[in-house]
Chain A
Amino acid sequence: MGNTRHTWWRVCLVLLLLGALFAPGMSRADDKALLGLRGGYDDIAAAVTSLADHHDPRARVLIDALRHGALYKASDGNGLYIETDHGFVDAATNAAAPGLDPDALEKIRQNNNVRVAVAGALALLDLAAPDAATRRAAAAAMLDHPDAALLPALDHALASEHDPAARRAMVLARAASLLSVGASGHGVPEQLAAVAALRAAGGAQARAILLNIPAAPPAVRAAAAEAVHAIDRELQLWSLAQGLFYGVSLGSVLLIAALGLAITFGVMGVINMAHGELMMIGAYVTYVVQHATMSVLPGDAGLGLALAVPAAFLVCGALGIGIERGLIRFLYGRPLETLLATWGLSLVLQQAVRSLFGPSNVAVVTPAFMSGAARLGGIDITLNRLVIIVFAALVMLALTVVLRVTPLGLQMRAVTQNRRMASLMGIRTSRVDALTFGLGSGVAGLAGVAVSQIDNVSPNLGQGYIIDSFMVVVFGGVGNLWGTLAGAMSLGVANKILEPLAGAVLAKILVLVLIILFIQRRPRGLFPLRGRAVES
């Protein structure tokens, strides 16, 4: 016994001496943390947490460096360096470390446990930030990983918090932490208040916390069970609304993919198997335009996308006119030959793009304003989908206006309804044919721009849409834009209602079976219309 004690004292003495040596530079906790940052993932996570817990003055710099991959250790395990714009800085002394060999340094990396620790540490540091929004975000981050150890910090922050939104988030984080494992010394009334706060907030996150309250008095547990039940009812309603949004979103993609076909197949009666490839070319135009604008203005993905809209319309429209003049006009009235010729054309276009751009996918960048989701009540509105819904509606509107109001639209309808009569009235029907096909192709190009934001841009892109497009047009009623809209929306919503019930594969099969049954009953679709296709 005496011996051990003796040794223990000696160790302490040595440590004290060492501490005295290093004292001017840093505190003891600091030293230990710096050592931890050079260790394994668990050591790094512990070091990060300890830096924030001790409110170490260097905590933010170190954690930020770690988060952005700017923290390095010497390969031999000694020394910790931060990479700045002006070269490396020694993390322990804060002095510049010039002449450091980058090859002798090893980047300190994170794993998911370290990322959780970093998020927690930053939240703790941000709880006292001057900006109210930062404080609110910090409290929200604490709600993700509630912990009894956070209670003192939250109590302290709440005492001086005046911003109502930040206060609300803190109260919620405090309630969650109070109900988490290891929280003790709180009375039943306080726990019941916490349950009530989470119940009032609602949502899946609060539900998860309430579901997992560790050992608590029966009254608290009963209140929690009731709160979970109430939140479940709410969530069920919201999930219905969410499903509807998904359905409309899928419907809008189907709509924009089918609109071009509604013109070429629906109005003109041309079975255009290359429709999908025109979409694919529209997507590649987006890629090229965006690539070009981003080489001039790096970081601005939105401009390229905006410019791609007219560019894709013009390129695909011109291509469509070329296809009509060079191929399709010789095949009017021979649907089987048209089908084969356009199918062959689709292979030619695919291979041409494959030869030009390579067989792999190309990356079309999604602009920042189209990434992420907005929360509306209990549903997530993903922004890229929202933009596509709006875009599809605008294209639909523009197309209706063109067909209803413009002279070209009038001529198109005239030629469709009675070609001979229109010709006798002095309309150059062959010119109208070419322009109509060009319009349909241009709209396919627009669809390509939209689809480039949600799908892979590869030479095979078109194949995934051609069947669905024909399905929508036939189901909606050939030759009727409103039918196409109704068809796209009902197919989209039906698919998304069936998907969670039956799984994605079975949902697709069920939708196809329903369409077959429907087409047998009503071969002309939802909204049949008279036109050249009908007459022939």
Chain B
Amino acid sequence: MTNGPTNISRRAFGQLALGASTAALAGAGAAVAAPRGAPIKVGILHSLSGTMAISETTLKDVMLMLIAEQNKKGGLLGRPLEAVVVDPASNWPLFAEKARELLSVDKVSAVFGCWTSVSRKSVLPVFEELDGILFYPVQYEGQECSRNVFYTGAAPNQQAIPAVDYLLSAEGGGAKRFVLAGTDYVYPRTTNQILASYLATKGIAPADILVNYTPFGQSDWQGIVAQIKAFGSAGKKTAVVSTINGDANVPFYKELGNQGIKSTDIPVLAFSVGEEELAGIDTAPLVGQLAAWNYFESVSSPANKAFIKRWHSFTKKPKRTTNDPMEAHYIGFNMWVQAVEKVGSTDHDKVIDALPGIKQPNLTGGIATMLPNHHITKPVLIGEIQDDGQFNVVWKTPDLVPGKAWSPYVAETKNLIGDWTKPISCGNYDVVKKVCVGTKHG
């Protein structure tokens, strides 16, 4: 049943990609040698239907754009790139099935995909078994380091920890009390666990931390916002760190506005609210609330301006927003292209070994480096919501922050590192006992 429609859509997208490459052939024929030979297949594993479609469809589109652009530049190794799009339909077990299909039937050279951590966990055994390459573009909770996955989104030390540092600093208001509010699933729970132990090291007493979880799609926030307000009226500066996901954020922010909580009283710093999430709401009451990401559409670097321009002309929608995971795919795709060109082949093992050390300019003016633990270096930006639905960057780490797979603030993983270069070649290496803990890296 589920195979029928997705196969159709895949074929349709295959044709689309073919069409795009033909168009590229016709357009750029004179300037660059047209790619020829058997196409190199690139898998795109993003949900195009179901609850995650809102977020993931954009990533499918940006991949199609990057592939079309690469073909215009003459393809890869002189061969054209072909996108193979599958639709895992926001269904976690289907992610694993579709991943297997991409790797064993279509024999793709690399896969760009997944959004939620649960979908990544679902495909992980497939990629390890069939020795595939997955580029995962979304900020996540860490505590994972697989040889077959390249994590181009932020690890907790590239988003959560610097963001909390900002709230603790005088510039960020010098918060002394924290509300950790999140949606009830693996990412907020893991992140909050890390944050609670981190705040303890910064001298915040457990009594000054309020942890609150709500179900997906929570719409009645009255009681919880009142609770936050009461918690914030103990005379110490209070801040909210929000890992609330999806469109539950809209009624949450509305309720904050209705109960008169201003960003100057209790700032809310969100990890999962981006340009896309703000697209549907009047942001005037939210001005001054914060979000931490590694990219904002409003960053006015030349690379970003050019990227947005190409995005608008590719999608033919002059107002379509860009966001952080899109930049992660941009970096990941270009790193993969560089690695393939470096080894002159798409052989998985060779490309995996070639990727660490590859450098690629990001869109905010820095240079991202692929690290031995398969995470990348990123700047951390704190943005304030503006009344036009965009973010104004108010703070930024002075240097790029290298991603850490394992958190030093969780007792079981504080001695672990990931290093897939020789001689260690291990995803969970214990630096104290000097042993590789095991083959499981998830």
Contact = CB atoms under 8 A, between A and B. Distances in A.
Given A115-B288, A246-B223, A496-B223, A504 B258 contact: no
Nearest to A380: B259
Contacts of A113: 171, 173
Interface stretch (B38-46, B73-81, B248-256, B412-420): B248-256
Interface centre among B51, B215, B264, B265 (most CB of A within 10 A): B264
A499 B213 CA distance: 11
Contact of A363 (B233, B257, B264, B281): B281
B54 interface: yes
Interface stretch (A5-13, A18-26, A183-191, A455-463): A455-463
Interface string B3-38: 000000000000000000000000000000000000
A510 to B, nearest CB: 13
A385 B264 CA distance: 25
B235 A464 contact: no
B282 A250 contact: no
A168 interface: no
Interface string A71-109: 000000000000000000000000000000000000001
Contact of A372 (B234, B258, B265): B258
Contacts, number: 124
A371 B253 CA distance: 12
A363 B213 contact: no
Interface stretch (A126-134, A151-159, A204-212, A432-440): A204-212
A111 interface: yes
B229 interface: yes
Interface string B200-221: 0000000000001111011110
Contact of A361 (B223, B280, B394): B280
Given A112-B173, A243-B223, A373 B282 contact: no
Contacts of B384: 111-112
A279 to B, nearest CB: 13
Give the interface size class of chain B: 35 or more
Given A385-B222, A460-B51, A505 B214 contact: yes
A504 B214 contact: yes
A384 B223 CA distance: 15
B213 A119 contact: no
Contact of A383 (B215, B233, B258, B267): B258
A499 B392 contact: no
Contacts of A144: 265
Contacts of A366: 254, 282
A383 B288 CA distance: 23
Interface in A14-61: 41-42
Interface in B366-399: 384, 392, 394
Given A242-B226, A456-B251, A496-B223, A372 B235 contact: no
B220 A205 contact: no
Contacts of B224: 499, 504
A372 B171 contact: no
B223 A458 contact: no
Contacts of A315: none
A211 B234 CA distance: 7
B227 interface: yes
Nearest to B285: A371
Contacts of B171: 41-42, 111, 113
A359 B58 CA distance: 12
B308 to A, nearest CB: 17
Contacts of B251: 454-456
A504 to B, nearest CB: 4
B230 interface: yes
A405 B64 CA distance: 63
B430 interface: no
Contact of A505 (B57, B172, B184): B184
B235 A503 contact: no
B53 interface: yes
A366 B253 CA distance: 13
B235 A504 contact: no
A377 interface: no
Give the interface size class of chain A: 35 or more
Nearest to B219: A455
Nearest to B215: A505
B214 to A, nearest CB: 4
Given A41-B171, A111-B384, A112-B173, A359 B222 contact: no
B263 A115 contact: yes
Interface in A336-380: 359-363, 365-366, 371-373, 380
A109 B387 CA distance: 12
Interface string A174-213: 0000000000000000000000000000001101110110
B281 to A, nearest CB: 6
Interface centre among B223, B230, B235, B255 (most CB of A within 10 A): B223
A112 B259 contact: no
Contacts of A42: 171
Given A253-B220, A499-B224, A119 B54 contact: no
A359 B226 CA distance: 32
Given A113-B171, A246-B222, A454-B254, A359 B53 contact: yes
A372 B233 contact: no
Nearest to A208: B235
Contacts of A464: 217, 219
A505 B211 CA distance: 13
B32 to A, nearest CB: 34
B306 interface: no
A278 to B, nearest CB: 18
Given A456-B250, A504-B212, A373 B264 contact: no
B264 A361 contact: no
Interface in B162-177: 171-173
A239 B223 CA distance: 10
Interface in A437-478: 454-456, 458, 460, 464
A39 to B, nearest CB: 14
B437 interface: no
A490 interface: no
A298 interface: no
Contacts of B235: 207-209, 211-212
Contacts of B54: 359-360
A480 interface: no
A505 B258 contact: no
A368 to B, nearest CB: 11
Counting from the closest, the 3 A-B pairs by CB-CB distance are A361-B280, A204-B233, A208-B235
Interface of B: 51, 53-54, 57, 171-173, 184, 212-215, 217-220, 222-224, 226-227, 229-230, 233-236, 247, 250-251, 254-255, 257-260, 263-265, 267, 279-282, 285, 288, 384, 392, 394
Given A359-B57, A503-B212, A505-B213, 11 more contacts: A110-B288, A112-B172, A112-B173, A208-B233, A243-B223, A361-B280, A464-B217, A504-B215, A504-B218, A504-B223, A505-B184
7 contacts: A112-B173, A207-B235, A373-B259, A380-B259, A454-B251, A455-B251, A499-B223
Interface of A: 41-42, 109-113, 115-116, 119, 144, 204-205, 207-209, 211-212, 239, 242-243, 246, 249-250, 253, 359-363, 365-366, 371-373, 380, 382-385, 454-456, 458, 460, 464, 496, 499-500, 503-505, 508
